[in-house]
């Protein structure tokens, strides 16, 4: 995962714990999870919109 092993991840988690404190970490994790979930949904909907957009363009009448 991006060239990071377990020791690097542990160091990052300890630093985050020291910076934000134990009370804020669950809130930050929840917000991060929601953001990732919304981002994935947006990517899925974008793919659907592009397919719908190609259908509309094929129905357009050419101007002469």
What are the percentages of helix, strand and coil residues in the chain, rounded to 5? Answer: 80, 0, 20
| CA dist., res. 25 & res. 16, Å (int) | 8
d(CA 46, CA 59): 20
Please give the structure tokens belonging to residue 29.
């994790």
pLDDT > 90 fraction of the chain, expressed in percent and rounded:
44
Say yes or no to pLDDT of 57 above 90. Answer: no
Is residue 59 very low, low, confident or very high in pLDDT (cuts 50, 70, 90)?
low
Question: CA-CA-CA-CA torsion for 23, 28, 33, 34, nearest 10 degrees?
Answer: 110
Q: Is the pTM of this model over 0.75?
A: no
The pLDDT assigned to 47 comes to 66
Residue 55, SS3? helix
27-55 pLDDT, tens digit each: 999 999 999 999 999 998 876 555 554 54
């Amino acid at each position: 995962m991006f060239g990071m092993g377990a020791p690097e991840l542990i160091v990052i988690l300890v630093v985050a714990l020291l910076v934000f404190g134990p009370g804020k970490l669950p809130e930050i994790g929840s917000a991060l999870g929601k953001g990732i979930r919304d981002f994935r949904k947006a990517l899925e909907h974008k793919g659907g919109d592009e397919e719908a957009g190609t259908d509309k363009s094929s129905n357009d009448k050419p101007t002469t």
